[in-house]
Every structure is written in structure tokens, then in C-alpha cells.
Chain A
Amino acid sequence: MLLSPDAPIQRLAAAIERAEVSVREVVDASLDRVEARNTTLNAFTQVLSDRSRVAADRADREIAAGHYRGPLHGIPISIKDLIDVAGTPTTAASHVADRSPAPSDAPVVARLREAGAIVIGKCNLHEFAFGTTGEDSAFGPTRHPLDPQRSPGGSSSGSAVSVADGMVTASIGTDTGGSIRIPAAACGLVGLKPTFDELPCHGIVPLAPSLDHVGPLTRSVADARLLFAAMRGATGAPAPTTPVTRRLGCPRPYFLDVLDAEVREIFDTALTRLGSSEWMVRDSPVRYGHDTATVCLHLVLSEATAVHASSLDTQAESYTEGVRLRLELGRYVLGEDYARAQRGRAVLTHAVDAALVGHDALVLPTLAIPAWPLGTETVDVGGRPISVRNVTLRLTQLFNATGHPAISIPCGCTTGGLPVGLQLVGRRGHTDHLLHVAEACETVLACR
């Protein structure tokens, strides 16, 4: 076989279309990698070996019959185990969730299958996606592919690891406060959270419905674009694209206040490299950005607790301790404070819109720290102790509340070899433009 599942989709697709490699060979290579590595990394909750081989053989027969579906035909992908895949239980990495098989695919999965993608398995996550480490899971923690003693970030931890370790070509995750972008940054991947409501969240276990997004984790922006287009399907016509002006706004206050020294240095170097490539990066503060955490906390606690209220009444002991405590905490948020947080969301949305005026995108780091050791609760950032949960959410969660599309791309590695991500945030409804911008930046920052 010439290509492995970690090849760029366009390259793999061209080889599959020309029958230089069979889909069955690609899927077997994917399953072999899963078998070799999953015991160590714990990325998968369910491996669909038989089904994916049957699907691969069918995909090969279609190509032989002249029915090539397009660039995702025969591409091995994984799905976060929060998303329905017909005939498999959606465990949400919890002992609480209903373990009966899902009757049908979530629409985003159905669309990917229609485009020819092969679902290799379902991925581990932080229980119910309510955490950023991937540690609290009924299946045990997911481990970082570069250092199994570290967290790969979460909540889409298994999705990120399955792609970063070359088990699959791409994965589908969800993002309520950064759960696609955080593990993408920690594992050196591209992670896309589209505009709110651009992709359907039906068939996905909700966490906080007004903040929930679904999107791809891939090895390149081009791959993310292919997955995003397939997930959007025929009904979601893209907004007309506008030319990339090469102007980026950097919201320094609050967003650059708490950063690991190496992350800061790598981010600054990335801006310098962009500046050397005719990109203009100007300061563009997000007014009231310092209110991000308190607004998001009141929104997510209230909504998550509403979703889990009946399970908390009957099966509280079945949750992992950390997730249960956060859900219980949500019961104490007052209605008047949820209303204030909704007002804050509107103010912050307006502020991000204003910061974007005259810019293709906002640019900021994705994750303030590199991948951290498993079991860590507090880290020291610039001499200041801060909880892992707070520091990991700090740069991503605002754009869940405001609904702006955001993407993380790799921009370098620490001296210890741990990846660092750069986040680009685009205008609402203009995810395609953001992808163009990200692809252009990726070319400048390419560190693979």
C-alpha cells in the first residue's frame, strides 16, 4: 500500500479514485493502527471493525462500477461517542447514558456516509463533553499520542488522538466551550467550530444547547474544508466568499493576559511570520472581554443542569465525581443571573462583531498552555496558579457564546515538542471565508 490513513485527504482520494490503493487496504491499515495503539492511548470506546470492512468492500465495488462519490469516498473517520451512529450505543463516556443502539445516524454522520466516508469507530471523550481534559470518562482517560502521561485535551479527546496518531484520517467532535479546538491545539491538529447552528446538532447528546456546535478535527485546513462541506450537505449553501484582505485583529487585553511563556513566544513568532508574509496584524480589543468567563459559566451551568436534571435525580452516583459536582452546581444558579448572562452574551456578541470590522479574522492563541500531565488540577502560568479547567476554556469559550466561527491551526511546538495552536475567529455566517483565511495562514505557518 502506498498511503496510510494519515495522508492528506486529496492525496488519499486521488489514489483511491485511480484504484492505486483499495478502500479495503486503507481501512485495514486504519484498523491495524487502532489495534496497535488503542490499548495505550484509549482513544476509542467502540471499534467497528466488521462493519467498516463491509463498508470498505462496498466502496471498492462502487468505484469498480464507476460510481465514485467524491474526495471522501473510502476515507476512514472516527466519531465522538456523543454522536449517534446507527446500530451502536451512544455512551457519552458515561455510565448514565442509555446503552441501547441508536436507531439512526445523526444527520452529520449520515451526510458523511453519503459522501463515502467509512466510520471506523466511536471515540472516547470527557463524560457528556462536560470537561476539557478527557480524564473523567467511564472508559478511563484518553492519553496524548506524544506523551501518554499527558492529557490530549478535551472534551473531544479520543477524536483528536485518533487523528493525531494516524488511526484515522479525520474525526467529528463537538464544541461547547472549546472541545474541538482545545484538543486540536494540544495535539497539533486543525479543529473547526463553525458558526452556531450552521451544522445540525440533532442526534447528538446536548450539553448546553445554545452553546453546542459540531465540527471536524483534521490534519489540514483543506481536509477540514472537505469534511465541513460534506457535513453541511446539499441544503446549506455557503455564503458568498469575499476576497481575503490579509488583515487580522489581535484582541490582546484579557486574551493574552494569561499565557504560558513558551506559548506566548510561539504565538508572537507566528504573528511575526505572518507580518513578514504581507499580513497586517493590528490590535483589536474585544470590549468587555474580561467578562467572558463569568458570562459563559452561568450559561453553561444552567443549561447543562437543565439537560441532566432528571438523571441527577435518579442516577447521580453514576456520574464521574467532577461532572456530577458541576451539574449539581448548576442547580444553584438563579434565574436573574442567567438573564444577566444572556444580556452579557448579547453585549459580547456585539463586541466581537465590532472587533472584526476591517479584519478577515481575529487572531489569538487557542490554548494558553501546552498539553499538561494527567491528573493536574492547577497549573502555574506566569507565577499565577490557575485551574486547568479555567485556563483551558479561557481563549475559546467566548466564541461558543457569541456563535462566531473559530478554527485552531498548528503554529509551532514547545522545546519539549508539544504542539501550540493559533486560533482564528471569523464573522458569523462566513465560515467559508474563515477557512480561506486559515488556509492562507497555514501556508505561512506550516510546521509539519
Chain B
Amino acid sequence: MTIDDWLRVASADAAQRRLPDLEPLLKALAAATRSLRAAEWNQHAAGRPQRDPLTPP
């Protein structure tokens, strides 16, 4: 699920649950998740990081 799709679904769910104050927190979480997914140490099936930080050089 892309972050944009996730945010749309999560915001709609929060609105349905009458939690409007959750909206800014969901946006902040989306930004943090975007940063998490962009971290260079993530593993990807289509390719590995140039150097795995957990593997000794």
C-alpha cells in the first residue's frame, strides 16, 4: 500500500470514528513512514543496499 493510499484510508476511518483530532497526527505519521521507507538500510527484493550495515566490511 502506498503512503498516499494509506493516509486516505486512515483519514476516512478516523473521520468515521469521530476522531478529527487524529488527522494532523496521521499526517505526521505519514511523513515519518515516508522517511522510514526511504532509509537506505531497508532491504528490497529487487536489490540490496550497496553495503548491508549489518554485514562486516
Contacts and interface: CB of A to CB of B under 8 A. Distances in A.
| A-B interaction | yes
B26 A287 contact: no
A294 interface: yes
Given A328-B19, A340-B37, A343-B41, 15 more contacts: A287-B53, A288-B39, A288-B53, A294-B39, A297-B29, A298-B32, A301-B29, A325-B19, A329-B26, A332-B10, A333-B33, A337-B36, A340-B36, A350-B53, A351-B53
Nearest to A336: B1
Contacts of A350: 53-54
B28 to A, nearest CB: 9
Among B25, B35, B43, B53, chain A packs the most CB atoms within 10 A around the CB of B53
A347 B10 contact: no
17 contacts: A288-B39, A291-B35, A291-B39, A294-B36, A297-B29, A297-B32, A298-B32, A328-B19, A332-B13, A333-B29, A334-B1, A337-B37, A340-B39, A343-B42, A344-B39, A347-B53, A350-B54
Contacts of B41: 288, 291, 343-344, 347
Contacts of B21: 321, 325
Contacts of B35: 291, 294
B57 to A, nearest CB: 11
Contacts of A321: 21
Interface in B1-23: 1, 6, 10, 13-14, 19, 21-22
A428 to B, nearest CB: 16
Contacts of A346: 54
Contacts of A334: 1, 6, 33
Interface in B35-55: 35-37, 39, 41-43, 53-54
Interface of A: 287-288, 291, 293-295, 297-298, 301, 321, 325-326, 328-329, 332-334, 337, 340-341, 343-344, 346-347, 350-351
Nearest to B36: A294
A351 B32 CA distance: 21
B37 A325 contact: no
A355 B7 CA distance: 37
A328 B42 contact: no
A313 B6 CA distance: 22
Contacts of B1: 334
A326 B25 CA distance: 8
| Chain B contact residues, majority secondary structure | helix
Contacts of B14: 328, 332
Contacts of A295: 36
Contacts of A337: 33, 36-37
B25 A340 contact: no
Contacts of B29: 297, 301, 329, 332-333
A226 B1 CA distance: 51
A387 to B, nearest CB: 9
Contacts of B54: 346-347, 350
Contacts of A298: 32-33, 36
A295 B10 CA distance: 20
Nearest to B11: A332
Contacts of A340: 36-37, 39, 42
Q: Which 3 A-B pairs have the closest CB atoms?
A: A347-B41, A294-B32, A332-B10
A200 B25 CA distance: 33
A325 B53 contact: no
A334 B37 CA distance: 12
Contacts of A288: 39, 41, 53
Contact of B25 (A291, A325, A351): A325
Contacts of B13: 332
A346 B55 CA distance: 11
B50 to A, nearest CB: 14
A325 B39 CA distance: 27
A43 B6 CA distance: 42
B22 A329 contact: yes
Nearest to A297: B32
B49 to A, nearest CB: 10
B45 to A, nearest CB: 12
A293 B26 CA distance: 16
A337 B32 CA distance: 10
Contacts of B32: 293-294, 297-298
B29 to A, nearest CB: 6
Contacts of B22: 325, 328-329
Nearest to B33: A337
A326 B43 CA distance: 28
